[in-house]
Structure 1
């Protein structure tokens, strides 16, 4: 039942109506009293429902616990994978750094002359540190590893027995003693690490370097290059505009840098946290690369594990503060890089402009000096031009005489060419006539051959037509013979069908229904039912149906698996396929057919 049908049912049928209908039916049937309520059964049903609900609640709690444990194990597995890869990377980086430092010290001690003693001392100090690390490992780490291997061997080879209680108590005391020693060693190392960090932070070297770098950048921003101030420029206005451009650029970047620094007011390098927690925060965030899936959820989970005294809201606020601090520092760095790039470009452009100004000034001076020299040269050029015109006129007269002689020679040459062309055309005309004569003879021969070939093809086609006509007559006779055989078979089959129909009719007459139809008796009340009905009630009279129904009901039709399968195939759009026909032909009916209705028409 769909949601719409359920709403219609709920809106049209109410509980009061059902109760009224129940009372009405019971009143008609003579039932005037209700059955007594069985409270014991109701109590048992309530207890069973309560037990079922408690079991369901227990299962839900268990499922939630399992889901929580699986989620925790999944997070721990992801953390383990990340930290394992980070451990391998750090180990390789440490080994590579130690190897590079050792190679550098070895190469420097062998190549350095005066500073050889310094590098030799560094190598000795490195060797002594290595000996100290090895001694510390043998004194602290090696006993723990040996004790662990000894315990594993005892547990795996000789399981604990009841009579060895004293021995195992001694082993436990030894384990507790080793653990206390290791904890003391770790506390001492932690104290030394904290003292060293405080000593380094007390020096304040990094802060002083940052402050000095900022003061140096500010002084550089406000300074104009010495080359620009001391450069010689023949145009004072151009030099003033260049100096003004440097001043404007310095003021623009100074304002931007001051705006970027104003964002960092009240923020230190640790963003309000102590240095240890901030360093842990940075180290953990740096281990989870953004390429990892759900990297922020992973490092937030690890931060909550490492820093349990910090809430998730404080972690998120510190993350935003740290992002803002990095953004401000990066913007300040980009401003300084942009200023350096623009300053370099402006400085190079200024040098090029100054050089161009000097070149232009030198060109103007040289142009004034060259004008007098050009006037003198122009006078000399006029004289030479007059002489050149006279020479050109003489050359033109000589060229006209040469052209006249060349025209006469060209006319004689063209006349000879015409005579040779006439003789050549005569020879070509004779060759064309010979070619046409040969073509006429060839066409006559080809026409004679085509007439012979056409006559031969006509004879062959007449012979083939005669053969085809004989073949068609033979096929017609063969077809008439087959049609006669087919008609004979059909008459025989028709006679067999008539005989089979007569036999079937005889069988139908033998199994015909003899009893007469009495629907009133079939649908009427029985004697047993009449005895239960009170005598004062009117007897229910069934009306006679309008017509006799000799067919199947919808329930009987739907009960047939062939109908359901055909409907499913039609819904899927497969009822026209070969697969559907084969499937429906193999499905048997719900009841086997009667033997007298079995068809033998298509059986061989």
Structure 2
């Protein structure tokens, strides 16, 4: 009854809520029409369309509201509504929150790992760049050292004038090495010895420190105080060295040393005198007006280049106003330039790497400051390159103008000399022509006489040649007749030799035929004999194969008899097959004998020495005393250590004869 009453009460409440919802829905429609259709409301036809609901169709209709009312009246019996378990929902929400928190932690861990991997990748790339730069600087250092050593070897000989100076250099370098060795012995070696002694003491008293032994703790406090004093001394020494370094850097950055060390700076200087050079005044020229005009070109050239230089400086006045370091300190600027130049232009992701590297080296500088200084460095570099190119062009223009002026003056002098030489040349040419004409006339007369004599000599040679050819023809005729007689005689002899050779060949052929017939008879007998021998071998092989087959059969029979003797004959026992094995029983049902086994006993016996036995060894204590005295690396220490016997004599099987004769 109570449930039904509550159900009716809930139904009434739901009805009232539904009615309120319907009213609110109508108000909501009016509000939406006002918001979504302001143009309609502002139009003149809006009053006539207040009751027209066609432009806006609501989701709920009268049928749907009736169905909702029925479902609400039915209550729990409706298949559309189920009771809510809030505890279960809270558990589900807690599980969702826990899984979300877990996922969030996992995402944060992944982000952290990603950041760490990116950081490691950047450090690896920086390391590769620094290794390349280190190799380059190392090569430059070695090359500079080689040049210095070569210069020293070249000038440190007895005959050179700088011999005494380089001897002083060597003595000063040796004194510096001695001072450095003494400084190292007085500062570094005691610290290392103290470190080794402290390590040995900590290893020896580690157990006492852990257990809180009063004596060991007091000794440990004294040692910590001593270490703090040593650290203070080292810090004072380092501060003193830092001050000396600053003093030396100050000396190098002032006066004459600054000019030596910064002679190759990037700022170009005009290292030549402007105006007309003195060498141009010394040039000789017969035309004074031309010389004055040419020398005026030097002044005009200087004025043009000076104007271009002033224009360049005015164009980059903003860069020059920030000083030589762009408003930064010298150390920061040097750090920026050194790290920036290590990354080549063709490197991938170059700007990101540069900014990351500069952020690490210059943490007190922000990124906008780094970017601004980078732009200033690029502009400053561009300005100095343009200025250097301008100075080089200026110097080159002056040298070219000087060469051109010198060549012009030389050409003027040459032209003047050529006019004088031309007149002298014409007079000489006339005289030479007369002499040559007389020589040609004499030569023509001599040539005609020589031609007459040559014709007479040619006629005489032709007659002698004809007589010679006639005599040679007679000799050739006699020679040919003699040759014919020799050829006929040779032909007869060869015919006779051929006939005799044919007779000998015929006799040899008959003899060979007779020998071949006899050999054929012998070969036939040999073939028959070989055939008989082959038949005998085949029969013997067949007998051996038959004997072998019989032996195999006999062997198989004997083996079968042996198998019969050793063959196992056992009855099948299914119960025995299903029973536990002896090994399983021994493992799962241990006997009483195994109950006395000590499970805490180690698996293997360890035959070694503990720390107390090692420290009681006299050799160990002797070595510690020698180390405290600084004699543990001396031959005396090795000799003393070799003479100290061990606490117990070694066994005979531990002696070795490998190093017997060393």
Contact kept, 8 Å, 2:268 with 2:384, in 1: the verdict is no
Q: Distance in 1 between matches of 2:138 and 2:192?
A: 20
**Pairing of 1:235-246 with structure 2 (within 5 A):** 235-236=287-288, 238-246=290-298
Within 1, Cα distance between the matches of 2:265 and 2:93?
Answer: 83
- Give distance in 2, aligned partners of 1:311 and 1:257: 35
Q: What is the alpha-carbon root mean square deviation over aligned residues?
A: 4.9
Name the counterpart of 2:385. Answer: 330
Are residue 285 (structure 1) and residue 332 (structure 2) matched? no
> 2 CA distance for matches of 1:352 and 1:125?
55
Alignment of 1:50 onto 2:97: yes
Deviation at 1:294, TM superposition (A): 4.1
Does residue 162 of structure 1 match 2:211?
yes
Give the CA deviation at 1:113: 5.8
Question: Are 1:41 and 2:88 matched, yes or no?
Answer: yes
Using the alignment, how far apart are the partners of 1:20 and 1:109 within structure 2?
A: 116
Q: Please say if residues 288 and 295 of structure 1, whose CA atoms lie closer than 8 Å, have aligned partners that are also in contact.
A: yes
8 Å contact from structure 2 (residues 276, 299) kept in 1: yes
TM-score, reference length from structure 2: 0.47
Corresponding residue of 1:351: 406
State how far apart, in whole Å, the 1-side matches of 2:299 and 2:235 are.
64
The answer as to 2:438 corresponding to 1:366 is no
CA distance in 2 between partners of 1:56 and 1:241 (Å): 90
Go from structure 1 to structure 2 and tell me whether the alpha carbon gap of 1:366 and 1:206 turns closer, same or farther (over 3 Å shift).
same
Aligned equivalent of 1:217: 270
**Residue 43 of structure 1: how far off its partner (Å):** 2.7
Output the CA distance in 1 between the equivalents of 2:367 and 2:338: 17
TM-score under structure 1 normalisation?
Answer: 0.51
Does residue 230 (structure 1) correspond to residue 296 (structure 2)? The answer is no
Aligned-residue offset at 1:127: 0.7
Q: Secondary structure at the match of 2:380?
A: helix
2:121 matched to which residue of 1? Answer: 74
| 1:312 to 2:361 alignment | no
Report the CA distance between 1:128 and its aligned residue: 0.8
Q: Distance in 1 between matches of 2:85 and 2:386?
A: 83
* 1:124 equivalent in structure 2: 171
Q: Please report how far the alpha carbon of residue 61 of structure 1 lies from its aligned counterpart in structure 2 after TM superposition.
A: 1.4
Q: How far off its partner does 1:296 sit?
A: 4.2
Instruction: Say if 2:251 and 2:257, in contact at 8 Å, map to a contact too.
Output: no
Check conservation: 2:285, 2:412, Cα contact below 8 A. yes
2:8 matched residue in structure 1: none
Change beyond 3 A, Cα 1:323–1:380: same
Name the residue aligned to 2:633.
Answer: none
In 2, distance between residues paired with 1:158 and 1:85? 48
CA-to-partner distance for each residue in 1:57-78, whole Å, 9 max, x for gaps? Answer: 2212121222222223333344
Instruction: Kindly tell me the number of residue pairs found equivalent between the two proteins.
Output: 380
Instruction: Call closer, same or farther: CA 1:352–1:218 in 2, change over 3 Å.
Output: same
Q: 1:212 to 1:303 in 2, by over 3 A?
A: closer
Q: Tell me which of 108, 111, 117 is aligned to 1:61.
A: 108
User: Structure 1 residue 132: deviation in Å?
Assistant: 1.5
Deviation track 1:401-438 (CA, whole Å, cap 9, x = no partner) reads 9xxxxxxxxxxxxxxxxxxxxxxxxxxxxxxxxxxxxx
Q: 3-state DSSP class of the match of 2:320?
A: coil
In structure 2, the gaps of 5 or more residues are 1-57, 456-662
Q: Is the 8 A contact 1:267 1:325 kept in 2?
A: no
1:95-134 Cα offsets, whole Å, 9 max, x none, are 7756765665566444246654332222111111111122
Q: How does 1:131-280 map to 2 (within 5 A)?
A: 131-147=178-194, 161-163=210-212, 165-166=217-218, 168-203=220-255, 206=258, 217=270, 220=273, 222-236=274-288, 238-262=290-314, 263=316, 265-280=320-335
Contact 2:122/2:353 (<8 A) preserved:
yes
Paired with 1:344 and 1:112, the residues of 2 have a C-alpha distance of 40
1:448-527 paired onto structure 2 within 5 Å: none
- In structure 2, how many angstroms separate the alpha carbons of the residues matched to 1:145 and 1:99? 35
SS in 2 for 1:269: coil
> How far apart, in 2, do the equivalents of 1:245 and 1:20 lie?
108
CA deviations 1:367-413 (Å, max 9, x no partner) are 2444566667778889999x79x99xx99xx9xx9xxxxxxxxxxxx
Displacement of 1:229 in angstroms is: 2.8
Distance 1:36 1:324, change over 3 A: same
Shift, 1:174, TM fit? 4.2
Separation (CA, whole Å) in 2 of partners of 1:70 and 1:147? 40
Q: Structure 1's 216 and 86: CA in aligned 2 closer, same or farther, altered over 3 A?
A: closer
- Give the drift of 1:207: 7.2
Other structure's SS at 2:94 match: helix
- Equivalence map 1:421-436=2 (5 Å): none
Q: Report the secondary structure of 1:134's partner residue.
A: helix
